[in-house]
Amino acid sequence: MDDGFVFLEKKPILFFKKMKKNKNKLQFEQKSIEVLENLKWPDEKEYPTDLIKRCNEYRKIPINRLTPEQLRTLIGQNIGLKYLIPIAIELLSKDILTEGDLYPGDLLERTTKIEDSFWTENLVLRKQLSELIDLNSEKIRNKNLQLKSL
């Protein structure tokens, strides 16, 4: 099964064979979740919660322009996981304690807590994240993060 990832020196590196690079950015990274999923949420004058409003706004941002906090929020709501988890893993491979707006490691913590069915269907991503956690176990332990077992 070709999932688009290769490992170099035990670090996951994105390598999408089927997508051409466009000005050093992968084509899908320049698109929003809204475009990638071909699903537009209705724009409301008022939203039931601020979280729903923010998620709707974040879905319109090209995924290569999402901040760690925006990624953490969308991942926490199980939105666009097949597009966002590879981005999150790439960020975490550079700094396992990548921080959104809450605390160092909040992106990692949130990423481990997504629905189990995603990890069951995406074993290579699961393995990559597990290996990153293993490689950085001391840093993680020092922050007392509450990671869910993969």
pLDDT band at 44 (very low <50, low <70, confident <90, very high): confident
pTM of the predicted model as reported, rounded to 2 decimal places: 0.79
Please report the pLDDT score of residue 14 as a whole number.
43
Please report the pLDDT score of residue 81 as a whole number.
96
Please report the pLDDT score of residue 7 as a whole number.
41
pLDDT tens profile 80-120: 999 999 999 999 999 999 999 999 999 999 999 999 999 99
Please report the pLDDT score of residue 95 as a whole number.
96
Give the 3-state secondary structure of residue 65.
helix
pLDDT tens profile 58-74: 999 999 999 999 999 99
pLDDT tens profile 23-40: 434 566 789 999 998 888
The string of DSSP letters for 118-139 reads HHHH-HHHHHHHHHHHHHTHHH
User: CB within 8 A of 106, min separation 6: which ones?
Assistant: 72, 99, 100
Please report the pLDDT score of residue 26 as a whole number.
57
